[in-house]
Every structure is written in structure tokens, then in C-alpha cells.
Structure 1
């Protein structure tokens, strides 16, 4: 089993643990605050600093890897570390400035993210946001530490950062019920700080040494700034999509905003588990292959990454569409989270999940462009996709309501994928893309059969045992479990080559 496959498998296992704990966090939040005013205000306020700087932070982490590899190859490890420290200090100052400006102009900032908020909910969201804005500093630094650790082939620790984050927030939710909602807000700020602080000792162990010096004339920084602006725009379109959806959703009611937040968390669970964990391992490899000028291996890795993601994501899409209501009911429906909230969240989840394949494959292609030091193409394609999304949002919300917002994002995602596909083919030529279409077709056929079986099994078990939470868990567990077996048996008989890689990952972890 290759080192890349082992790293991806290890990261996936860690991500499973982290995201299961994250789901529990959402269950606790839903039970405590449902989709009422505090839940909507918290969801909006929590998303603002993430959108404001995770865009730049993700762009930095994405650009740091090829730049660090290049400087290390040309001038050695010490030079690359000096560049990293200049970046750390610059980002700290930039983040502090953004936080201060944001704290001064918080109300108009909130109105950008939630155009429909007025009165008490607007005031509450402004107060929450003013506190959480300072988390931008920790978000920025955490992204740099993540990039550094991935360069050093440590993928496990970045995957674990969600665990202390989630534990702190769960404790904050419980304490806030007796000591006031602001315990949750300050707890979230501390939790975000842990995302950075948790990684520091491990980065130090891998050779990172902090220096206060800032070299504004650093050629690496200048080159990175030129590279990073298109990356910021390219990555930012995804966050901008989320911002637009939530802003328009705020005109439909606070319960819709909260439901979008919960559906987005469930969507992110799948994305982090099966997309981010694979890309985190593959991207440094793609960048290093191009440093060595190995285009054949680059194309091969790119194609295989897409195929593995397709095999894993397609059945999840079908399963989410078929079983969205029982999934949301089991995970979230308790306390102040009602059955009506379940239906709204499930409808959003269905439509969002259909679009996850477009986002995943587009992200793989984008990493390919970044490895090629081409950040303009992803930026251009991303801008086109966001314009389409805005137009579709404004069209669909009038006759489909909140469902139209989710559908617009999904359609725009697939249009963006087509743009990326044609751009990549033009950039690197033939990368045996027919194999990708073959794998997708086989996966879709297998997933469709799986979906029919899962729906039948769920309905049959539900009708033959007493209704309730335990019944839902048993029915859902059996239908998902049998569905997974059906899917992979069919894929096996279809002789899909990439299945071997997935089986190797599982075998390796089971042996350990």
C-alpha cells in the first residue's frame, strides 16, 4: 500500500472521529436552541469571520505548499522557513486590522450576510459578530500551520483540530443554558483559538521556529501575493455562494437561516470526510510532482483522485436524496428542533448534496491548476459560476422559496465544473478523461440500485416495528448498511480499478 493511500486512509479515520463529534455538537445545539432567534443569530455571526478570512486563509494554505517546495528546492529549508515566518507575521497584522475595522462597521457587515434581519435579531447578531470577528486571527494562523504540517507529511494533526474545537463548543452550549448565551459566543472564540494552538507544538516538532522578523522585500512573499489574489477570488466564490444563500434566506425567516446552517454542517461532514481528507494528501504530492517536472505522473494522480472521489460521493448523493428525512430526524430532531424543522433541513440537504460531486471534482481540478502555478483560470471560472448563482438565486427564490436557493447553488456548481473541465483539458491536454466518465456511469448505476434497495428496506422495517427514535435508528442503520454492501458488490463486479485502492485503505486500518 502506497504512503499516499496510507496517509489518506489515516486522515479519513481521524476525520470520521472528528466529524462524528461535530455531528454531536450540532445535535446539542439543535436540541438547545432549535431554529429560533439565537440559533439563527449564532449561525450568521459564526459564518462571518469564516467567510471573511477563511477565503484568504485557504488561499494562503493552498499557495504556501507549492511556494515552500519551490524555495526549499532552490535555496534550502532555512530560506523556506524565513518565508513562512514573514507570512505568519504579515497575516497576524492583516487579520488584526480586518477585525478592528469589522468591529467598527459590524452592523452594515451583518446586513450583507443577513439582509432580512431587523430589530432584536439584528442587534443580537451584531453583538455576537463583534466578539467573534477576532477569531479571524486564529483562523489565518491555523491555515498556515495546516499548510506547514502538510508540507512535512503530517496530515493527522490538521485532521484532529476539530476535536478540541468541538469539545469546547459543546461545553459552552451546556453552560450557556444556565449562564447566558454569551458563554457560547466567548466559548466559540476560545474554540477557534484552539484550532491554531493545537497545531503549534507539532509544527515545532517538525522544525518550525518562530521569528518576529518581517521581510517585506522577500521575493517569495511578492511572488505569492501575485499568485494568491486569483486564488482568493477562486476559493472565495464558494464562500460567497454561502453568504448569498444565507442573506437571501434571512428574508424568508430565522428558521430558514438556521435550517440552512444545519444542512450546511451535514453537507460539510461529507465534504470533509471524503473530499478534503483526500485532497489534503494529494495536493502536496501534485505540487511536488510538478517541481520534478513529471507531467505523466501528475495526470495519473489527478485522474485517480477524481475517480476515488466519484466512487465514494455518488452513493452518498443517492443515499441522502432517498433517506434525507430520517437522517435529519435521527441526527437533529429533539428538544426545540421540531418535525417541521426536520422537513425544511432535509429538503435543503437533498439539493445541496446533489451538488457535492460538482464541488469535489472542481476542487481537484482547481488544485491541479494551483500546482501548475495557474491561479487565474480557477478565478475566472469561479467568477462566472458565482454570477450564474446570483442570477439563478434571484429567479428561483420567487417561485421555489428556500428550495430555489439551494437549487441555484447546485446548478451553478455543475456549470462551474464544466468550465473547469474544458479549461483543464486545454491546459494539460488529454488526461484519459474517458476513464472518469466510465467510472461515474458505473458508480451511478450501482448507486441507483443501492438507493432502491435502501428505500425498500427502510420502509419495510419501519412498518414492522414500533415507531419512535429507536425504530428510526434501526431502520436507518440496516438500510444504510445493506445499501453500502449492495453498492460495493456491484462496483466490484463492474471491475472498477480504483476500488482496489479503497479496499487497501480499509484493510490497512483493520490490520492496525
Structure 2
């Protein structure tokens, strides 16, 4: 079974790499057209706002649906409950979108923001386009949750790959591209992915239909679990939005710079963090369903496994960051000065990834235990701290505040989550092994980073070839170090990783 998981993970990783490459190429093409202008600021901010709104309802899809499917005794008993729940979540998200569109209309038309500043009118139009696309994306998440339970991860990635390819080809070939055409192309790509996954799931027992029962006790229980999840998501989305609104305070282009930096950080987060978590979460949920002790063992192993991959990626991304940014964005309206500023954002974004891994696995542990309230409390504390930090920092530290805030907030929220989980279950046996393993990961990654840094300084074959060679050298170096220091641990992982029961 571990061989099957390794083969599937390899396939998923390859497809994700291709998909992320297409997404980055699309962003690169947009950067060459629009750079760090107000047009890009408007599209990026509108997209982020719509993502945040949809994520409020969408957060509950994987958090609530997957544990429900894992514990569901028969399809016949759970199908009506599941459909009722899905219809409710889609309805809530639809209402939130409509309210946001109405609020935008009132501000732009009635309060005449359109005449005061053309940026606000552009932002409003972009909100509508991106909002429709994000709603299709939410439907895709529902189909994805069903497919994940059957371990059809390759099918999921194929849908995203086809969608990314379609939007990139249009943006690449369209002459005299406008920012609105680019936004519509991205919206249509979400529709394509939604249709693909819906068709892939058409013969599935969990497929969506309008067979519902709002009086069901199980449905009401799912909604009780969902309310804290939505509150948590709402708080988390505010945490994401606040720095971007603060970026507008410093002038034109900073929102786009943060977006480009997030694009690079998301390459690694999507390739590794999200893929790993998506594949491990069903297994973690099943483990806690069996027994708390088994769940604790898998939690510790999964934290170590994930950061064994993430930590060297962080070091590599920091060292090769300027080269990556030059390759992807530095052309046309995107200048060398923009490259340097984006790199500063990238450094602290990738440094936060190991903390995000631990925090997300801890939150998923709470969800597996049926506790959706504790993550909300932690997120609210994190949001309050971030607001205070940004308000004070903007006037004291300036733009530096925005640069370092991802690392500050993610590390704080991870510590709070760990403390909260210790109060709920006994983690004493996990502390020492996790600390020991992470020290080894950091040491190995530091050695790898030194090798890559000196090789990069010696090479002069051009930015592209230098970067590719250094990535290869880093992988080989870290791989050898891992084989030397983790032989026993790698063997243990073969007995831990299971796709099914």
C-alpha cells in the first residue's frame, strides 16, 4: 500500500508541478502586460476579496464533509444528510456573494466612488467577474472532497491542469489583452475545472442532487460543527485581507508585489504543503476515529514527514528567490527594483511554511476530534494580534511591517494551536521526537543551503541554467544527507502511510 501511495504522490506531484508552472507562466504574462500598475492592483485585490468570501463557506467542505464521509456507515443513510448540507453551504456562499456585489454597487454608484477614483469602479467590476469564478471553484471543492475519499487525487489534478492550460493559452495568444479579458479568462478556467470534476464524479455514490432533509438530526449536528468553522474562516480571511488593504496605504503597486510574492510562495505551498495535507487528512481522520492514541502517533509522524520536505524547500527558495523572480516576472513593466521588493516578501512568506504545516495538521486534528470551536478561538486571537501589530508597525516600521507579518502571525498561531491541543490530548511523547527531527532537518537544510549558495556564486551560465543546476544540486545534496540521517525513520514511514484503512 505504501508503494501505491508513493506512486500516486509522484503522479500528483508531477501534475501539480505542470499546473503550477502554467499558473506561474500566466501570472508572468500578466506581469509583462500590466506590471505593478493600478490595474493589476484592482484585479488582485478583487480576486483576493472574492476568495476570502467564498472561503468562509468553502472552509467547511473538507473540514466537515471528509470526517462525515469517513464515519458514515452506509451511503443510503448519509446521502440525504450530505446533500442537504452541501445545498446549505452553497446557498450561504451565494448570499454572501450577492451581498458583496450589492455593497459594491452602493459604494460605487450611490456614493459616487466611480467619479472620485476610477480604481474603485475597476475594483467593483473585477469583484463581479472574480466572484462568479470563485463560486464555480467552490463547487469544484465539493466534488474534490468526494473524489478524495476514493483516493482519486490524479483525477482532481487533471481538472486543475486542463483549466490552467486553457486560461494560459488565451492570455498568451490574445493580442492587445485588457485586464478585463484576463479576468474573464481566469473565471472561465474555474468553470472548466468545475465541469470536469462534476463529470468525473457523475457515477459516484456521493454525487450532488436535490434530495434533502433539513429536519435531520445529523444535518443539524453538521451545521453545529460548521458554524465555528465558518467563524474561523471569516477571521482567517480578515487576517489575509488586512495586509493587502494596508499595502494600498503605501501607494500603487504594493498589492501587486505582495500578490507576486504569494504566487511564488504558493508554488511551494501547493506543490508540497497542500498536496501532503490533502493526502494525509483522510488517514489522520480515520486514525482518530479508531483511537486517540493511534491518531497522536500519526499526527507526530505526519508533522515530521511534511517538514522533512518543507524545510529544505524554504532554504532553497530564499537563496534562489531573486533568480526565480527574475525568470518569472522581470520584464516589461516589472523592474529590477520590483524584483528586490518582491524577494523581501518571499523570504518571510516561505519562512512561515513550516509553521503553517504544523498549525494546519493541529487544526485538522481538532476537526477529526469533533472540535471546531478551538481553532476559531485561536484564529480570533491571531487576528486581534495582527491588527494591533499592523496598526503599530505601519507607523513605526513602515513597509517592513507588511514584509515580516506572515512569519510573525503564523508562528504565533502555531504556538497557540499547539498549547490548545496539549490541553485536550496528551502530546508529551511527541515533543522530543518532533524537536529532534526538526533540528536534523534544519541542520541538513543549512548544509544544503551553503552548498547551493557557493555553487550559485561560482556559476555564470545564465539565470535559467544557474537556477536549474542549483535546484538539482540542492535535491541531490539534501537527499544524500537524509539517507544518512534518516534511514530508520524512512523505514518507519512505510508502516505509517496508508491510503485506506
> Equivalents in 2 of 1:158, 1:230: separation in Å?
28
Aligned residue in 2 for 1:509: none
Cα contact 2:326–2:339 (8 A) shared by 1: yes
| Higher mean displacement: 144-153 or 211-220 | 211-220
- Name 2:201's counterpart in structure 1: 203
Q: CA RMSD in A?
A: 2.5
**Stretch moving more, 492-501 or 164-173:** 492-501
1:409-420 correspondence to structure 2 within 5 Å: 409-420=406-417
* Counterpart contact for 1:67–1:220, Cα < 8 Å: no
Aligned to 1:16: 17
Query: Aligned residue for 2:138?
Result: 140
User: What is the CA distance between 1:220 and its match in structure 2?
Assistant: 2.5
Map 1:302-451 to 2 at 5 A: 302-430=299-427, 431-451=429-449
Name the structure 2 match of 1:213: 211
Write the distance in 2 (CA, Å) between the matches of 1:414 and 1:94.
32
Match of 2:453 in 1: 455
User: Matched residues in 2 for 1:496 and 1:256: separation?
Assistant: 45
The verdict on how the C-alpha distance between 1:194 and 1:142 changes in structure 2, with shifts beyond 3 A counting, is same
Determine if the alignment matches structure 1 residue 480 to structure 2 residue 471: yes
Gaps of 5+ in 2: 496-501
Q: Is the alpha carbon distance of 1:418 and 1:150 closer, same or farther for their aligned partners in structure 2, counting shifts above 3 Å?
A: same
1:27-106 matches, cutoff 5 A: 27-70=28-71, 72-73=72-73, 76-106=74-104
Which 10-residue stretch deviates more, 15-24 or 166-175?
A: 166-175
Task: Check the 8 A contact 2:277/2:361 in 1, yes or no.
Answer: yes
C-alpha distance 237-491 of structure 1, shift in aligned 2 (>3 A) = farther
The answer to whether the 8 Å contact 1:4/1:281 transfers is no
Partner residue of 1:194?
Answer: 192
Change (3 A) 1:503 1:404: farther
Q: Secondary structure at the match of 1:198?
A: helix
> Secondary structure, in 3 states, of the residue corresponding to 2:212?
coil
Is the contact made by 1:256 and 1:402 (CA closer than 8 Å) also made in structure 2? no
Give the Cα–Cα distance (whole angstroms) in 1 for the partners of residues 494 and 456 of structure 2.
27
Deviation for aligned residue 1:250: 0.9
Residue range with higher mean Cα deviation, 166-175 or 225-234:
166-175
Distance 1:445 1:202, change over 3 A: same
- 1:108/1:247 CA distance change after superposition, 3 Å: farther
Q: Conserved in 1, the CA contact under 8 Å of 2:79 and 2:206?
A: yes
TM-score between the two structures when normalised by the length of structure 1: 0.89
* Contact 1:32/1:177, CA 8 A, preserved across alignment: no
Q: Is the 8 A contact 1:324 1:347 kept in 2?
A: no
Where 1:333 maps in the other structure, the secondary structure is: coil
Q: Secondary structure at the match of 1:199?
A: helix
Contact kept in structure 2, 1:55 and 1:236, CA below 8 Å: yes
Partner Cα separation in structure 2 for residue 295 and residue 196 of structure 1: 36
Q: Deviation at 1:145?
A: 1.1
Find the residue that maps to 2:83 and give its secondary structure. helix
**Which range is displaced more, 259-268 or 10-19?**
10-19
CA distance in 2, matches of 1:46, 1:312: 30
Runs of at least 5 residues in structure 1 that lack an aligned partner in the other structure? 466-470, 505-512
Shift of 1:433: 2.5
Query: Could you say what secondary structure the match of 1:254 adopts?
Result: coil
Q: How big is each residue's C-alpha offset from its partner over 1:206-245, in whole Å with a ceiling of 9 and x where there is no partner?
A: 3344422332212222111111122223344443222111
Q: Secondary structure at the match of 1:133?
A: helix
- 1:24 match: secondary structure: helix
Using the TM superposition, give the Cα deviation of residue 41 of structure 1 relative to its aligned residue in structure 2, in angstroms: 1.1
- Per the TM alignment, residue 35 of structure 1 is displaced from its structure 2 partner at its CA by 1.2
Mapping 1:262-273, distance limit 5 Å: 262-273=260-271
Once residues 349 and 181 of structure 1 are traced to their aligned partners in structure 2, the CA distance between those partners, rounded to angstroms, is 25
Q: 1:262 to 1:501 in 2, by over 3 A?
A: farther
Cα distance in structure 1, aligned partners of 2:56 and 2:156:
17
Out of 139, 156, 159, the residue aligned to residue 157 of structure 2 is 159
Q: Secondary structure at the match of 1:432?
A: helix
Q: How far has the Cα of 1:108 moved from its partner?
A: 7.5
Partner Cα distance (2:106, 2:273) in 1 = 34
Distance in 2 (CA, whole Å) between partners of 1:352 and 1:382 is 18
Which deviations, in whole Å up to 9, do the C-alpha atoms of 1:74-118 show, x marking residues without a partner? xx11222222222333333333322222221116889xxxx9x97
Change (3 A) 1:497 1:407: farther
